[in-house]
Amino acid sequence: MKQNKIIEPLLLISFVALYIYELLFELPYTKKTIDNFFPLLLISIFCLAGLAVITKAKQDVPKEALFIFKLLLIWQSISFIRGAFSSTEYLDIKNLFINKLGGLSVFIPLALYAGLNYKHSKKMLNFTLLTLLFSFVLIPLSLTDEETEIYLYSRSVTPVLTFMIFIPYVSRGIALLILVVSLTSAYIALSWRANIIRISTSFAVLLSYYLRRFHSFKLLNVARMVLFALPLVLLFAGLQGKNIFESSTEGTEIEITSKGETENLAQDTRTELYTEVLSDLSETGDIWFGRNATGKYRTDIDFNLPSELGNMRPDVEVGFLKILIHHGILGLVLYFLVLWKASYYGICKTNNRLSQMLGLLISLHWVIIFLENIITYNPYYYFHWFTVGLCLSESFRLLTDSELKEWLTFKWVKK
């Protein structure tokens, strides 16, 4: 009983601390001093670690899935430790211990335990809804002349991507709020391609609910398998010399104007990244086990890197490449297997439609990390792993749709 009383505050604090940090990271008044606020990230991580210790996952998660997930945690922890022993320069130490894009990103899978404790997540979800409700006060800051502020609003509301899947189960008032926030997020930052892709995929998954009469879980399972296979097939084709990104965007222009500048959303910005990262890792033999949690890759592109780094870049905009740099093919295989298992159980071993939609969303996430989605410790990935935990939780999958509507009832909003 004492453990149950601890779970709820741990879950709430884990996200509140992360959200406050993310907001400070984006606000123009605090982003220059964001390094001073890294303890908020540590608080979030320690809360999730506490959840992991007290959660009785064996009783609720399929054995093979739990085993693979623990292997993933172990391997990513080894990558962090390797980084600690190899970091001698100030920037490497800073990147490892206080950077949400660096070493701390290896701990974001711990948010899976938030999903396993969904019965205690009501206050956390309630807080998240309140952040969506009051997010509109940030819009004026996103509309300033400063180009760097354009993504402020959209990044502050990334949990809406998961809440969009909850729409059939919440009240009309909350459903309206979610729709308005998601559309506003897309409109304000039209040039943020990753956000447009994410919102579009969430809408597509939501649409599958309203078209449920025309498909079965077998069809969804086929779609799941196709989605997991597609990036690997295209990657193999790319390694054989066929430039997938260039051929798919050749002659295509999707131009938008933002902050007075025109940008082509169909422009190929990934081929050079793939070429540089894969070539560099292959030449050094690091492609199998990665370069640890502070890993970098050699680049000939002008990214205006600090002089201390030379031509070694610590960040890459593609989630797939980031996993390879940090954890190698071994880490990528473990990541794949966890998502594969979660999507399978979510779609094929459930009593409710919500689990099936979340399983489909996880499958689409696998596709997106080959295009965008840099791995980081942020609210987007927090809710991604939260959904993975939901799909792996047998008690969640056994819930009926009516029971899920009760779970997603928030008394402060009128029906």
Check the CA dihedral 206-216-373-99 and report its sign: positive
Return phi, psi of residue 298, to 5°. Answer: -80, 130
Side-chain-side CA neighbours of residue 9 (13 Å): 4
Distance CA 401, CA 68 (A): 29
Distance CA 229, CA 231 (A): 6
pLDDT at 264: 45
pLDDT at 95: 94
Distance CA 34, CA 97 (A): 14
- List of residues 6+ apart from 315 with CB closer than 8 A: 101, 322, 374
Distance CA 13, CA 205 (A): 29
* Distance set, CA 239 to CA 46, 278, 286 (Å): 41, 10, 17
**CB neighbours (10 Å) of residue 187?**
10
Strand pairing partners for 357? Answer: none
Distance CA 140, CA 400 (A): 42
* Helix/strand/coil (H/E/C) assignment for every residue in 291-341: CCCCCCEECCCCCCCCHHHCCEECCCCCHHHHHHHHHHHHHHHHHHHHHHH
Check the CA dihedral 122-123-125-129 and report its sign: positive
Region for residue 264 given its phi and psi (left: phi exceeds 0; alpha: psi -120 to 50; beta: otherwise) = beta
Distance CA 183, CA 170 (A): 18
pLDDT at 271: 84
- The answer to whether 386 touches 114, Cβ cutoff 8 Å, is yes
- The answer to whether 87 touches 96, Cβ cutoff 8 Å, is yes
**CB neighbours (10 Å) of residue 95?**
22
Buried b (16+ CB within 10 A) or exposed e, 128-154: bbebbeebeebeebbeeeeeebbbbbb
- The answer to whether 14 touches 52, Cβ cutoff 8 Å, is no
pLDDT at 262: 45
Distance CA 226, CA 224 (A): 5
- List of residues 6+ apart from 351 with CB closer than 8 A: 397, 398, 399, 400
Distance CA 231, CA 168 (A): 30
Tens of each residue's pLDDT in the chain, 415 residues: 566 789 999 999 999 999 999 999 999 889 889 999 999 999 999 999 999 999 999 999 999 999 999 999 999 999 999 999 998 889 999 999 999 999 999 999 999 999 999 999 999 999 999 999 999 999 998 877 565 578 899 999 999 999 999 999 999 999 999 999 999 999 998 888 899 999 999 999 999 999 988 888 889 999 999 999 999 998 888 777 666 656 555 555 544 444 444 454 556 668 889 999 999 999 999 999 999 999 999 999 888 888 888 899 999 999 999 999 999 999 999 999 999 999 999 999 999 999 999 999 999 999 999 998 889 999 999 999 999 999 999 999 999 999 999 999 987 655 4
pLDDT at 201: 97
Distance CA 315, CA 234 (A): 23
